[in-house]
Amino acid sequence: MFLFAGLGNPGAKYAHNRHNIGFMAVDEIVRRHSFSPWRKKFQSEMSEGTLAGEKVLVLKPQTYMNESGRAVGEAVRFHNIPLSQVYVFYDELDLDPGKLRVKTGGGAAGHNGIRSISAHIGPDYKRVRLGIGHPGVKELVQLHVLGDFAKQDREWLKLLLESVADNAAMLAEGQDEKYQSKVHLAVYPPRPNAPRKPE
C-alpha cells in the first residue's frame, strides 16, 4: 500500500493559497483516477484507489499545516506503510513556479509541515516538492506562501496539477525520476528549434 499525503490548511479561506498546492495536487489525483469519495479518518480527509495495480491511500490532513505529522503518522502506523511508499506533496519556495522535484529524505528547509511529519515518522519518506517560487526577500515569504495564486499563475498551475495527476501511476511503480521528467516536459515543453537563416 502507498500513502500520498497532500499538505495544506483546511478551510475555504486557505483553499487557493500557494501553501495549499499539496491539497490541490492530491485533489487532482483523486479526481482524475476516480478514487473513492473523501471521508474523515486519521484526522484527515481520506480517499482510496488504485494506481498501477497498487492500493493508494490519499490524505489531506485537517490538523493545519504545522501538525501534519499527527495525521500522517497515524495512517502510517495503522497500515504499517513503509516510508519508501509514503509520498508527501507540498509547496517549495526554492523551486521556480511549476518545477517539480522528487527526493527521499533530507531536512525540512523551514517547511513546518515537513518538520512535523519527520518528527512523527522519521525523515526517510519521499517528498514531491512543487515549486511556487520565492518572493525575493525573506520578509515577504509568509505573505507569499499564505497568499492566493495570482491570475498569471493559472496557466502553469493547471499544467502542473494535470501532469502530477496524469502520471501518478509512475510513483506507484517506483519510477520517481521518470515521473519528474514527464511532469517537467508537460509544464516546460521543449521549444522547437528556430529555423536556420540561409547563409
Sheet holding 126-131, edge to edge: 39-41, 44-51, 54-61, 2-6, 86-92, 126-131, 100-104
- Say whether 184 is catalytic: no
Question: Rounded to a whole number, what is the distance in angstroms from the first to the last CA of the chain?
Answer: 60
Would you state the cell numbers that stand for residue 194, as one nine-digit string? 528556430
Q: Which of 16, 19, 111, 134 is catalytic?
A: 19
The alpha carbon torsion through 34, 36, 40, 41 (nearest 10 deg) reads -110
Q: What three-state secondary structure class fits 177?
A: helix
Using CA atoms, how far apart are residues 187 and 136, in angstroms rounded to an integer?
22
Q: Mind telling me the catalytic residues?
A: 19
